[in-house]
Amino acid sequence: MQLPIGIDVASKHSRQTQIFEQIRTMIIEGRLRVGDSLPATRELSQQMGVSRNTTVIAYERLQAEGYIETRRSVGTFVCPSLPEASIRIQQLGPCQIAARAARPMDAGRRRFAFSGRAQRLINPHRDRLLADFWPGRPDAESFPAKAWSRHIWRRAASLGRGVTEYQDPAGLLDLRQAIADHLGPTRGIITDPACVVIVNGIQDGLNLVARLLVRPGDPVILEDPCYQGAHYVFDSIDAAIIPVPVDSAGIQSARLPDVCPAVAYVTPSHQYPLGCTLSLERRFELLAWAERTDSFVFEDDYDSDFRHVGSPLTALKGLDRTDRVIYAGTFSKSLGAGLRIGYLVLPKVLIEQARELKALTSNGQPWLEQAALADFMTEGDFERHLRRIRAVYKARRDQLIEALRTKLPEWEILGSEAGMHVVCRLPDAHPSSAADLSALALSQARVGLYDLETGGASSFGASEMFERCVILGYACVPEHKIVEGINAVASLTRDGALGPIEHPAETAT
Ligand SMILES: Cc1ncc(COP(=O)(O)O)c(C=O)c1O
């Protein structure tokens, strides 16, 4: 069966994204129906003149998002139950969709102002896997449900104006105070609530800062490789992205270009994805660069609550004497991503404009969760919770390292001192790329093992690290599953299932 899809070589989207989007659209619009079979990846790659890897990744993403499923030795089919969002569209039926569809864009009357992509958030396979090492997810079992519901109920009993009135768009003062108090002892940041703005997670903070400081064409410095969520935000507003390579001591600050004014986005505590810590020397170099070029530095401190070896380095913001660092923290890793609560600590010059923008974009955050979180922090429940989960995550990290060293000793482990994931560099002699290995681990061992791209990272150069590394999140994988998962991946190697997937020359039409 041949699918009527094509590759636009001029598109800024990768080939795998184009294939993914076109097949997804065919499923959503009902041109491919539940149970229909899809061509094998090899057949599709030959049809389109792209590498097998490209079609494997596109299929993997369609599978991960719940559009297709692969039945071993039978083939690939449209899933019997499609993701919720597409079902809503499907219920209209193809004719109604056609009737309601907007007119072609080239009429010049309707053009999207937004053209962008987003990082993948939902992985419908998780419950079906033997072990899923998807990075960045905290352990759901460890959520402090009792203490949290006690605070929610107590505040809910006296809601009053908390819900009937708009609140300060910068966030609830009690929570901003609790965050400011927390950051002194834990991150070395001396600040006050006036500088703290509550956001809907770091992703929202990135958008706020991008809108506040970056016009199309403005230079934005990103780590290479870097967190996809940050890359896609700046890409979506047509910033001029300048990648600066990362090595084992973090972003190579000596290679920061003297452009101004710019924003540099960095992850100093636990570089995403590679996991290194920015050295003290480079922290000072980065701050000196910001001062010299009159730039701001966006410090994404997403998982710094977890340091497993040694004591944490003071946050960059804690060393910032010229007020140029925008610090971003989140409760997505310590409590849960579903809460959607994060915060920025802003340089003073940005506060008023940020508050205006916050009001303009959202009128502020929901009150009840902010109030409960403030109590949760001031009454010591947050510290207690952190102590408890630090021990859980450290035990899982230790188990993962032991399993890797025993079963896959030739894999080099990186970035294990902190956070919730490690990166493994495959040996040069390894027969397949990280993307191939991750596709095989999913289809043949039911293990979620991610290459850096499917694990939420972007790369800008021909970084061979990017091709050769897999990322393993361990915080939400119980120890016995860690062992089972690594054993299953190791036996793929033993059984000879691994081998190079053929890569015909990329001769896109
Ligand atoms: C490096 C990094 N920054 C930011 C985020 C997003 O955090 P939030 O849920 O607060 O938007 C993530 C999520 O995985 C991340 O890995």
Q: Please return the burial class of 474, using the count of CB atoms within 10 Å of its CB with bins 0-12, 13-18 and 19+.
A: buried
80 Cα–ligand 1 center, Å:
32
Q: Are 509 and 6 in contact (CB under 8 A)?
A: yes
Ligand 1 atom with minimal separation from the 342 CA? 10
Q: Are 244 and 252 in contact (CB under 8 A)?
A: yes
Task: Tell me the best of 120, 137, 200, 203 to mutate to test the pocket of ligand 1, counting ligand atoms within 8 Å of each CB and taking the most.
Answer: 203
Residue located nearest, by CA, to atom 14 of ligand 1: 136
300 Cα–ligand 1 center, Å:
8
220 Cα–ligand 1 center, Å:
19
Helices H, strands E: what count in the chain? 18, 19
For 267-289, b/e burial (b = at least 16 CB within 10 A) is bbbbbbbbbbbbeeebbebbbeb
Residue located nearest, by CA, to atom 3 of ligand 1: 302
Locus of tokens 């780590």: 223
Taking only the tens of pLDDT, the chain with its 509 residues reads 788 888 888 776 778 878 988 898 888 878 888 888 999 988 888 888 888 888 888 888 888 778 898 887 788 999 887 765 554 444 444 445 445 555 555 545 567 888 788 888 887 777 789 999 999 999 999 999 999 999 999 999 887 777 888 999 999 999 999 999 999 999 999 999 999 999 999 999 999 999 999 999 999 999 999 999 999 999 999 999 999 999 999 999 999 999 887 899 999 999 999 999 999 999 999 999 999 999 999 999 999 999 999 887 899 999 999 999 999 999 999 999 999 999 999 999 999 999 999 999 999 999 999 999 999 999 999 999 999 999 999 999 999 999 999 999 999 999 999 999 999 999 988 878 899 999 899 988 999 999 999 999 999 985 677 889 999 999 999 999 999 999 999 998 776 556 544 444 433 32
384: helix, strand or coil:
helix
432 Cα–ligand 1 center, Å:
29
| DSSP annotation of 139 | P
378 Cα–ligand 1 center, Å:
24
Ligand 1 atom with minimal separation from the 203 CA? 11
pLDDT of residue 288: 97
> Of how many residues is the chain composed?
509
The whole-angstrom separation of Cα 243 and Cα 487 is 37
Q: Are 342 and 329 in contact (CB under 8 A)?
A: yes
Task: Tell me the best of 202, 369, 373 to mutate to test the pocket of ligand 1, counting ligand atoms within 8 Å of each CB and taking the most.
Answer: 202
88 Cα–ligand 1 center, Å:
28
Task: Tell me the best of 299, 332, 373, 450 to mutate to test the pocket of ligand 1, counting ligand atoms within 8 Å of each CB and taking the most.
Answer: 332
Residue located nearest, by CA, to atom 10 of ligand 1: 201
The whole-angstrom separation of Cα 499 and Cα 233 is 36
374 Cα–ligand 1 center, Å:
21
Q: Are 466 and 458 in contact (CB under 8 A)?
A: no
Q: Where are any strands of DSSP class E within 40-94? A: 68-71, 75-78
Residue located nearest, by CA, to atom 15 of ligand 1: 302
pLDDT of residue 428: 86
Q: Are 169 and 189 in contact (CB under 8 A)?
A: no
pTM for this one?
Answer: 0.80
Ligand 1 atom with minimal separation from the 204 CA? 11
pLDDT of residue 219: 96
Q: Which helix (H) or strand (E) holds 377?
A: helix 367-378
pLDDT of residue 108: 53
Tally Cβ neighbours within 10 Å of residue 138. Answer: 24
Pocket of ligand 1 (CB under 6 A): 136, 201-203, 227, 229, 267, 272, 300, 302, 330, 332, 337, 342
pLDDT of residue 492: 86
Q: Are 69 and 59 in contact (CB under 8 A)?
A: no
Task: Tell me the best of 120, 267, 272, 471 to mutate to test the pocket of ligand 1, counting ligand atoms within 8 Å of each CB and taking the most.
Answer: 272
